[in-house]
RNA sequence: AACCCCGUGGUGUAAUGGUAGCACAACAGAUUUUGGUUCUGUUUGUCAUGGUUCGAAUCCAUGCGGGGUUGCCA
C-alpha cells in the first residue's frame, strides 16, 4: 500500500492556511524582532527560519524590526552583527528593515489618545509602590491613588514628562485596565517610563520611552504584520497585546501566536549566561567556536544550510522540549559529507621512514576530492620516503580488533601503497619517535597484491618534506552536563575542561594551503575542519567543526 | 497553590474519530583504498482513571506531571 507523502504542517502554518482560505488575509506578513542588546544565538535561528520561511512559502514578506525601546541596554554595535548573522543564515529582508524607535512619535500620539479616552493615567508612585499595588499571584491589586486624575491633568503631566520636567522614575504612564484582573499584565501596566538616556538612533530627542507591551503590537499593526510569532513566555502578554489593538486606532489587527523556544542540551542559551561566559573569559569571545551563538557556529564551521535543516527538523510546537545536540551535529555532517573536499592531515604525527623506497625520490599520487561527487575530480599528492602518520594509528601492543599499524602488521596508506612495520625507534624515555617500514610497489593506489594478501585498514598520511605546519584546535561541547543550568550549583561548575585541546604540531597535505578562512573541509578519517578567521599562510589554524562518526572509539570504550 | 499553556519511544516530531509513522540516538549485519558514506534489520511510545463511540493519541470529565506569569527588561 502506498503512503501519501506527508503534507503535515505545524500549527502556525495551519492557522495561516485558515486565515488565507477564510479570506481574513490575502497575504502573509511576518517579522523577526530582535532587541539590539546582544548577539544572536541558535535559538534565534529557529525564529528567523520560521518567520522568513513562512514569508517565503506563502509569497509574503518578513520584516526585520529592531525592538529598540530601552536605550539603557541597546547599542548600534549589535544592529550590524544581527544583520550579518541573518544574512549568513541565508535570509533577506529586502528593504523591509524597521526600528521600533521609528514609531516613537506615533506611539506618543497613541498614548495621548488613550489618556483622552480615559484609558491611561500618570502615576506618581515609585516602583516599589507600584509593585505592592499590583498584588501578587494570589492577591488582587489595589488601585493607585492617582488613578482618578482628570484627562486634562494627565495630559498636562504627560506633556511635562516628555519635556523633561521630571527625573527618572518620578512618574510613569499606565494603561487603566483592571487591578483585579487574574492576569498580572492587565493590572494597569506601565506603558511609558522616564529615562534620561541617549538612544542609539533618536539621540536625545526623547526622555520618555514606551515599554515593550505598548510598542510591539502597535509596531506590528503599523507594518501590517498578519501573524506575530513569538515564544511562549509572551503568552500571558497576549491579552494586553490585544487590548491595545482593540483600544487604539491602529491600521491593522495582527495576531500574536506563541511557540516554544529552542533548547539544546549540553549548552546554555540565555543572554545573561552567554555574556557571563564571555566576560569571565571562559571562552575567547562571542564568536568562540564553542558558543551557541550564530557567530560561534559560523566560526566553528557549521554550514548555514545545516542550521536551516536542523531548524526544519525540530519543528514548531507549543510544548517545552530539549533538543539533542546530536541532531544538530547530524545535520552538519549530512551537509559537510556532501559538500566538503577531502584532504589528509596528521594531527599528532609520528615520522615513518619507508626503508625500501628510493632516497630522494618523490612521486605524485592522485586521490579523489569528494567520493560523494566524483565530478569534482582528483587532487595530486606527493609521496616519498619519509611521511607522517597519526600517533593513534600505531600501537605497539594492539588489542584484538585493532586493524591499524603495529609491529609486523601491514596497512594501506590512503591513495598510496601498503606498508609493513619492521622496526620501532624510541628515545631514552621509551617514547616512540620513528617507525621503519617497507612498502610493496605492487599495491599502488588501491591495487591489491597478486598473492592475495589482505589488509583490514587504510590510514592517512602526509609526506614529511612537503607537509605544512598547522595549529589544530579540537573543540568539544562546552559543558559536560546535559542541563548545565539545571543541574544545581552554578552552570559554570559544569564547564567541560576538555572543550578545547590545541594541537600545535599538525602536519597538512600541501593542497590545504589554498583553503580560505571560513572554509570547511574534511580531514580524511578524522572529521570536518574549518580554517579559522585567524589562519594565514604563515600560521595555519584549523578548528574542528565536528568529528566523523567513529565506531572504533565506541568499540574501544566498550572493552 | 490565582491565572494561562502543555503532556506520543532515550530525544525531537507526525497521525486532526479509522493500520501509532518519520528523523536522531542505540544495537546487529552488508558494502567500502575514510572503522566515514551508503544499505538492511532490531529494540523502545500515546501521563493515569473513567466516560462518549462500532472504533479514541485525537472528543468530554477528573486526577497527576511539566512550564510560564508577581520589571519603570524584551
Straight-line distance from CA A314 to C1' B21, in Å?
Answer: 16
- Å between CA of A401 and C1' of B31: 19
Report the DSSP beta bridge partners of residue A33.
none
In the three-class reduction of DSSP (H, G, I as helix; E, B as strand; rest coil), residue A108 is classed as helix
Kindly report which listed range (A1-10, A101-110, A142-151) carries the lowest average pLDDT score: A1-10
Residue A8's pLDDT band, with cuts at 50, 70 and 90, is confident
Q: Residue A398: its pLDDT value, please?
A: 94
List the beta strands (DSSP E) in A476-524.
Answer: 500-508, 520-523
Q: According to the CATH classification, is domain A350-460 in 1.20.120.10? A: no
Is the separation of the CB atoms in A329 and A549 below 8 Å? no
Residue A6 predicted with pLDDT over 60: no
Which among A190, A184, A230 is positioned nearest to A210, based on CA atoms?
A190
- Catalytic, A318? Answer no
Topology alike, domains A271-341+470-558 and A350-460: yes
Model confidence at A543, pLDDT cuts 50, 70, 90, reads very high
Distance CA(A165)–CA(A159), nearest Å, equals 9
In percent, the amount of chain A with pLDDT more than 70 equals: 98
Q: Name the pLDDT band for A555 (thresholds 50, 70, 90).
A: confident
Give just the sign of the alpha carbon dihedral A188, A193, A199, A203.
positive
* Active-site hit among A83, A119, A147, A261: A261
Contact A267, A293 (CB under 8 A): no
Q: Give the pLDDT band (50/70/90) at residue A195.
A: very high
- Specify the CATH superfamily of domain A271-341+470-558: Ribosomal Protein L25; Chain P (2.40.240.10)
Q: How far is the CA of A317 from the C1' of B17 (A)?
A: 22
Reported in sequence order, the residue ranges of A391-510 that DSSP labels E, i.e. its strands, are 410-413, 418-426, 432-440, 458-459, 461-463, 468-475, 500-508
The average pLDDT across A223-239 equals 97
pLDDT band at A2 (very low <50, low <70, confident <90, very high): very low
Report the distance separating Cα A218 and Cα A516, nearest Å.
46
Q: How far is the CA of A13 from the C1' of B52 (A)?
A: 31
For the domain made up of A13-259, give the CATH fold: Rossmann fold (3.40.50)
* Catalytic pick among A35, A386, A482, A519: A35
pLDDT at A1: 27
A380 is catalytic: no
**Residue-level pLDDT at A78:** 95
pLDDT tens for A407-442 read: 999 999 999 999 999 999 999 999 999 999 999 999
**A447 closest-nt by C1' vs CA:** B33
Mean pLDDT, residues A505-513: 97
For the ranges A90-99, A163-172, A445-454, which has the lowest average pLDDT?
Answer: A445-454
Nucleotides of B under 7 A from a protein CB: 1-8, 10-16, 19, 23-27, 33-38, 66-74
Q: How many residues does chain A have?
A: 559
Distance in Å, residue A430 CA to nucleotide B45 C1'? 55
Residue with minimal CA–C1' distance to B15 is A8
The answer on pLDDT for A368 being more than 90 is yes
Q: Which pLDDT score is estimated for A489?
A: 79
In the prediction, which pLDDT does A7 show? 64
Is the pLDDT confidence value at A5 over 80? Answer: no
pLDDT at A4: 37
> Does A271 participate in catalysis according to the annotation?
yes
pLDDT band of residue A366 (cuts 50, 70, 90) is very high
User: How confident is the model at residue A3, as a pLDDT?
Assistant: 33
Distance CA A46, CA A61 (A): 17
ipTM over 0.90: yes
Q: What is the pLDDT of residues A119-128, one digit of tens each?
A: 999 999 999 9
For A61-72, the pLDDT digits (tens) are: 999 999 999 999
- Provide the pLDDT confidence category of residue A169 given band limits of 50, 70 and 90: very high
pLDDT score at A485: 85
pLDDT for A559 equals 64
Helix/strand/coil (H/E/C) assignment for every residue in A438-467: EEEHHHHHHCCCCCCCCCCCEECEEECCCC
Give the residue with minimal CA–C1' separation from B26: A554
Domain-wise residue ranges, chain A: 13-259, 271-341+470-558, 350-460
Which among A375, A302, A341 has a CA at the least distance from the CA of A512? A341
**pTM of the predicted model as reported, rounded to 2 decimal places:** 0.95
Q: Which residues contact A532 (CB under 8 A, 6 or more apart)?
A: A299, A473, A517, A541, A542, A543
**Cα–Cα distance for residue pair A333/A528, rounded to 1 Å:** 8
pLDDT band of residue A554 (cuts 50, 70, 90) is confident
Average pLDDT, chain A: 95
Amino acid at each position: 500500500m502506498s503512503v501519501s507523502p506527508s503534507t503535515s504542517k505545524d500549527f502556525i502554518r495551519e492557522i495561516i492556511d485558515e486565515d488565507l482560505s477564510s479570506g481574513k488575509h490575502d497575504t502573509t506578513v511576518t517579522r523577526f524582532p530582535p532587541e539590539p542588546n546582544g548577539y544572536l544565538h541558535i535559538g534565534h535561528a529557529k525564529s528567523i527560519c520560521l518567520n522568513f520561511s513562512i514569508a517565503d512559502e506563502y509569497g509574503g514578506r518578513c520584516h526585520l524590526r529592531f525592538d529598540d525601546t530601552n536605550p539603557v541596554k541597546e547599542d548600534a554595535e549589535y544592529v550590524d552583527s544581527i544583520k550579518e548573522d541573518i544574512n549568513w543564515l541565508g535570509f533577506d529582508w529586502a528593504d523591509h528593515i524597521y526600528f521600533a524607535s521609528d514609531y516613537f512619535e506615533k506611539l506618543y500620539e497613541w498614548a495621548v489618545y488613550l489618556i483622552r479616552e480615559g484609558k491611561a493615567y500618570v502615576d506618581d508612585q515609585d516602583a516599589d509602590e507600584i509593585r505592592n499595588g499590583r498584588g501578587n499571584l494570589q492577591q488582587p491589586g489595589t488601585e493607585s491613588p492617582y488613578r482618578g486624575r482628570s484627562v486634562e491633568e494627565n495630559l498636562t503631566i504627560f506633556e511635562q514628562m516628555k519635556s523633561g520636567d521630571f527625573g527618572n522614575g518620578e512618574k510613569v504612564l499606565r494603561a487603566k485596565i483592571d487591578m483585579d484582573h487574574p492576569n498580572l499584565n492587565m493590572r494597569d501596566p506601565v506603558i511609558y517610563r522616564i529615562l534620561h538616556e541617549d538612544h542609539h538612533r533618536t539621540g536625545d530627542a526623547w526622555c520618555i520611552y514606551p515599554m515593550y507591551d505598548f510598542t510591539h503590537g502597535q509596531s506590528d499593526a503599523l507594518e501590517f504584520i498578519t501573524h506575530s510569532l513569538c515564544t511562549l513566555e509572551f503568552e500571558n502578554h497576549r491579552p494586553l497585546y490585544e487590548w491595545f489593538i482593540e483600544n487604539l486606532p491602529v491600521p491593522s489587527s495582527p495576531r500574536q501566536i506563541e511557540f516554544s523556544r529552542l533548547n539544546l542540551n549540553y549548552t546554555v542559551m540565555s543572554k545573561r549566561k552567554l555574556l557571563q561566559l564571555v566576560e569571565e573569559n571562559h571562552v575567547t569571545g562571542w564568536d568562540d567556536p564553542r558558543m551557541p551563538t550564530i557567530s560561534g557556529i559560523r566560526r566553528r564551521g557549521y554550514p548555514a544550510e545545516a542550521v536551516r535543516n536542523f531548524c526544519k527538523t525540530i519543528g514548531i510546537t507549543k510544548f517545552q522540549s530539549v533538543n539533542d545536540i546530536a541532531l544538530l551535529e547530524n545535520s552538519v555532517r549530512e551537509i559537510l559529507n556532501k559538500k566538503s573536499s577531502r584532504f589528509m592531515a596528521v594531527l599528532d604525527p609520528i615520522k615513518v621512514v619507508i626503508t625500501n623506497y628510493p632516497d630522494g625520490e618523490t612521486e605524485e599520487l592522485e586521490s579523489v576530492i569528494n567520493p560523494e561527487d566524483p565530478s569534482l575530480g582528483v587532487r595530486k599528492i606527493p609521496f616519498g620516503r619519509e611521511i607522517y602518520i597519526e600517533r593513534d594509528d600505531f600501537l605497539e601492543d594492539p588489542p584484538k580488533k585493532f586493524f591499524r599499524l603495529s609491529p609486523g602488521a601491514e596497512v594501506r596508506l590512503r591513495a598510496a601503497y601498503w606498508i609493513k612495520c619492521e622496526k620501532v625507534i624510541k628515545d631514552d624515555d621509551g617514547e616512540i619517535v620513528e617507525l621503519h617500514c617497507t612498502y610493496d610497489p605492487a599495491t599502488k593506489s588501491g591495487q591489491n597484491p597478486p598473492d592475495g594478501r589482505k589488509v583490514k585498514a587504510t590510514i592517512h598520511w602526509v609526506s614529511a618534506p612537503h607537509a605544512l605546519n598547522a595549529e589544530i584546535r579540537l573543540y568539544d561541547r562546552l559543558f559536560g552536563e546535559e542541563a548545565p543550568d539545571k543541574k544545581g550549583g552554578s552552570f559554570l561548575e559544569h564547564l567541560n575542561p576538555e572543550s578545547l585541546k590545541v594541537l600545535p604540531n599538525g602536519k597538512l597535505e600541501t593542497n590545504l594551503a589554498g583553503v580560505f578562512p571560513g572554509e570547511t573541509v574534511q580531514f580524511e578519517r578524522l572529521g570536518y575542519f574549518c580554517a579559522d578567521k585567524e589562519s594565514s599562510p604563515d600560521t595555519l589554524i584549523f578548528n574542528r567543526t565536528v568529528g566523523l562518526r567513529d565506531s572504533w572509539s565506541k568499540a574501544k570504550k566498550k572493552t
